């Protein structure tokens, strides 16, 4: 989660805003990649992207369908009617060429999706959840104490910095 500090916000408190994981071009690349395997419906594309991220990211229909419309207008895909009466999207030759020209970008996007899946899996481990809960509880108890000295506060800060370094190096 990205934290933004607002200069005019009282006491300089931080506002939290979710970071966008994938931009529109990333989504279009994923769609091209998935359609290279054969025609698909919009819902199937959403589920396929969710599967690549092991459930940690699910693009909304409001992200997928406007991109599909744009990609059709760009000549990258065609739209037909599938067996169930749903729209079926198919990669065009131009779409295939576009995908081939952006392989390094596609690799970066699929790597981010895979990393997201690993992160989610590790984050769900009971031991990790317990350790994070214990950490938050202890930190909130100390920081909420009216008797917290500056010396103790700076010791906590040093401990947090050291823990972050230890985790990075492990």
Does the structure show a pLDDT above 80 at 142? yes
24-124 domain in CATH 1.20.1250.20?
no
CA-CA distance, 153 to 19, in Å (whole number)? 29
pLDDT at 5: 36
Q: What's the mean pLDDT in 18-40?
A: 90
pLDDT category at 128 given cuts 50, 70, 90 is confident
pLDDT category at 19 given cuts 50, 70, 90 is low
CA-CA distance, 146 to 154, in Å (whole number)? 15
b/e for 4-17, b at 16 or more Cβ within 10 A?
Answer: eeeeeeeeeeeeee
Residue ranges of the domains in the chain? 24-124, 126-168
3-state secondary structure of 54: coil
CA-CA distance, 14 to 20, in Å (whole number)? 18
Percentage of the residues of the chain whose pLDDT score is greater than 90: 54
pTM above 0.85, yes or no: no
């Amino acid at each position: 989660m990205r934290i933004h500090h607002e200069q005019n916000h009282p006491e300089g408190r931080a506002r939290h805003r979710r970071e966008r994981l994938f931009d529109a071009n990333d989504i279009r690349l994923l769609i091209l990649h998935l359609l290279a395997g054969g025609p698909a419906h919009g819902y199937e594309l959403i589920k396929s992207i969710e599967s690549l991220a092991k459930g940690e990211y699910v693009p909304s229909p409001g992200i997928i369908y406007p991109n599909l419309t744009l990609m059709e207008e760009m000549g990258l895909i065609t739209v037909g009617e599938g067996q169930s009466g749903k729209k079926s999207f198919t990669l065009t030759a131009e779409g295939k060429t576009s995908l081939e020209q952006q392989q390094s970008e596609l690799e970066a996007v699929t790597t981010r999706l895979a990393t997201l899946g690993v992160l989610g899996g590790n984050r769900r481990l009971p031991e990790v959840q317990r350790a994070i809960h214990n950490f938050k509880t202890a930190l909130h108890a100390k920081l909420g104490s009216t008797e917290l000295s500056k010396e103790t506060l700076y010791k906590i800060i040093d401990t947090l910095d050291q823990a972050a370094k230890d985790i990075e190096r492990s």
